[in-house]
Amino acid sequence: METAQEVVRLKETARNTRKLILEALAEAGSGHPGGSLSAVELLVTLYFRVMRHDPKNPKWPDRDRFFLSKGHAAPLLYSVLAQAGYFPAEELMTLRKIGSRLQGHPSMGVPGVEAPAGSEGIGLSLAVGTSLAAKLDGKAYRTYVLMGDGEQQEGQVWEAAMSASKFRLDNLTAIIDRNGIQQDGLTEQVMPLEPLAAKWRAFNWNVIEVDGYDLAQLIDGFDLAIGTRNRPTVIIAHTVKGKGISFMEWSPHYHGTPPAKDKLRDVLSELG
């Protein structure tokens, strides 16, 4: 498919993903819109353009693996998985409700979810584990992991970063949703991360910086990572917390506050 055509298709999927996220969160009455909305294009590009996976066969041994390390973006992951066909989209309305498979943070038992998440800073190590196993088994599948930027404050991220370069895991791509905001405020005020790209370079990673909403840049970035040999790649995607909803953008408050159910129609109208 031509890239221009593909971008149009991905943009439409991204718009629908935002709608599903907001509907599910409004129905749930709790959850994390900000960091779900910021990373929509990252996951849409992965699941609908980059990754080899089969929603009809979620355990296909040769599938590419995706780990959501920033587990609070569960509504994003569920919305993308539902659109890909892993489970019916209606199930999104059971998010966070008792008896639902769709736990507040991802858990096993949901088709397409590879591992539980929720405790920050541990997803990259899981990805190191599957990447090592792939090499050991001579398999070509790749592992992707999406981290938050606030999560970079966790020490284990850097333990995992060291090990990924030691083991030359060129089958591993990490993505950082660099939206600049964490629960208590700006990352650069709570615990500064900059120079973030230089940190990853110093850990011997291939570092690619992209605009997280420029789909052509994202596609190029993932392709560059696939072509890189002998070292892992991190894509630092510059994003906006709450992207797409004017009053949620750049707001720490909407890190963990869902849209009100009775305002949902107005909120969704912003998506056009």
Residues that bind other proteins (CB under 8 A): 61, 65, 107-108, 114-116, 118-119, 122, 125-134, 136-137, 155-156, 159-160, 162-163, 167
Q: State the minimum distance, in angstroms, from the CB of residue 111 to other proteins.
A: 15
Amino acid at 43: L
Pick the closer one to other proteins by CB: 88 or 138: 138
Exposure letters 164-189 (e unless 16+ CB within 10 A, then b): bbeeebbbbbbbbbbbbbbeeeebee
Residue whose CB is less far from other proteins, 137 or 270? 137
Give yes or no for a contact between 207 and 197, defined as CB atoms under 8 angstroms apart.
yes
**At CA 75, angle to CA 102 and CA 105, rounded to 5?**
55
Question: Shortest gap between Cβ of 58 and other proteins (angstroms)?
Answer: 13
Quickly tell me which residue has 């629908």 as its tokens.
16
Cβ 43 to other proteins shortest distance, Å: 20
Nearest of 237, 217, 250 to residue 149 by alpha carbon: 237
Whose CA is closest to 73, among 182, 194, 152?
182
| φ/ψ of residue 256, rounded to 5 | -130, 30
Question: Which of residues 67 and 254 has its CB atom nearest to other proteins in the complex?
Answer: 67
* Smallest distance, other proteins to C-beta of residue 117, A: 8
Whole-number minimum distance, CB 172 to other proteins, in Å? Answer: 10
